[in-house]
């Protein structure tokens, strides 16, 4: 999430392919949280997340790619961490990462992109949660919101999202090489 004025309005104004590109970039940034969760709990689900995300990236530049959305969504639903059972602090970021990816597949299948607008918030929630866990702050309410908003990790997240949004807004018809380059850059930043 960005404090930049009109940030979410800008996301809403993107075309559907641009929203999918922006959401894919954010999911790529979320993948390390899911990977960390899988490693901590000795789960093999990391490969499925990676493969599903790869399909999203491919769909961005290959509109003719046929995907069995129902099958992928069902598989992803099975790897969503059960927050009632798993009390590990980083289960929440892993949960948000998988939900964001499922949201993209829902949008691709239904061709309704409204929920894609919320993936930015999910990405920011991950950072928010990590700040709360790492700092062990006892602040609440508005003081907690101010603390998190001013934290360097949140400032960095907002700057990265703003940069990604700028790039996506300028990319009406993205080429395969551009998409692959962006993905590789995001992987290297993780």
Nearest residue to 89 via CA among 128, 141, 48: 128
Q: pLDDT over 70 for what percent of the chain?
A: 97
- Average pLDDT score over residue span 111-133: 94
> What does the alpha-carbon distance between residue 55 and residue 132 come to, in Å, rounded to a whole number?
33
Which residue ranges form the domains of the chain, and what is each CATH number?
8-179 (1.20.1590.10)
pLDDT tens, 132-164?
989 988 899 999 999 999 999 999 999 999 999
What angle (nearest 5°) sits at the alpha carbon of residue 134, between those of residues 128 and 135? 90
**Which pLDDT score, from 0 to 100, does residue 174 have?**
78
> What does the alpha-carbon distance between residue 144 and residue 107 come to, in Å, rounded to a whole number?
33
Is it the case that residue 183 has pLDDT exceeding 80? yes
Q: What's the pLDDT band for 5 if we cut at 50, 70, 90?
A: low
User: pTM of this prediction?
Assistant: 0.93
Q: What's the pLDDT band for 43 if we cut at 50, 70, 90?
A: confident
Q: Distance of CA 110 to CAs 5, 61, 176, Å?
A: 30, 19, 24
Per-residue buried b or exposed e for 131-157, using 16+ beta carbons within 10 Å of the residue's own CB: bbeeeeeeeeeeeeeeebeebeebeeb
Is it the case that residue 107 has pLDDT exceeding 90? yes
Give 165-173's long-range contacts (Cβ < 8 A, gap of 24+): 165/2, 165/7, 165/10, 165/11, 165/22, 168/14, 168/18, 168/21, 168/22, 168/25, 169/10, 169/14, 169/18, 171/18, 171/21, 172/15, 172/18
Tokens coding 105:
């597949």
Computed over its alpha carbons, how large is the radius of gyration of the chain? 16
| Residue 90 near residue 61, CB atoms below 8 Å | no
Tokens coding 61:
């530049």
**Which pLDDT score, from 0 to 100, does residue 52 have?**
98
**Which pLDDT score, from 0 to 100, does residue 84 have?**
87
Tokens coding 35:
């990977």
pLDDT tens, 74-104?
999 999 999 988 878 789 999 999 999 999 9
């Amino acid at each position: 999430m960005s404090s930049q004025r009109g940030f979410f309005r800008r996301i809403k104004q993107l075309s559907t392919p641009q929203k999918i590109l922006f959401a894919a970039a954010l999911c790529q940034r979320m993948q390390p949280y899911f990977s960390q969760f899988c490693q901590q709990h000795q789960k093999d689900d990391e490969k499925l997340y990676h493969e599903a995300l790869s399909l999203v990236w491919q769909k961005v530049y290959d509109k003719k790619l046929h995907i069995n959305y129902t099958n992928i969504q069902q598989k992803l639903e099975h790897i969503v961490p059960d927050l009632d059972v798993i009390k590990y602090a980083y289960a929440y970021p892993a949960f948000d990462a998988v939900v964001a990816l499922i949201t993209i597949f829902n949008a691709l299948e239904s061709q309704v992109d409204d929920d894609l607008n919320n993936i930015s918030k999910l990405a920011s929630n991950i950072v928010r949660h990590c700040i709360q866990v790492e700092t062990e702050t006892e602040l609440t309410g508005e003081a907690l919101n101010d603390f998190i908003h001013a934290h360097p990790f949140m400032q960095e997240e907002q700057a990265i999202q703003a940069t990604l949004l700028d790039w996506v807004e300028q990319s009406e018809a993205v080429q395969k090489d551009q998409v692959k380059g962006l993905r590789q850059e995001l992987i290297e930043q993780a």
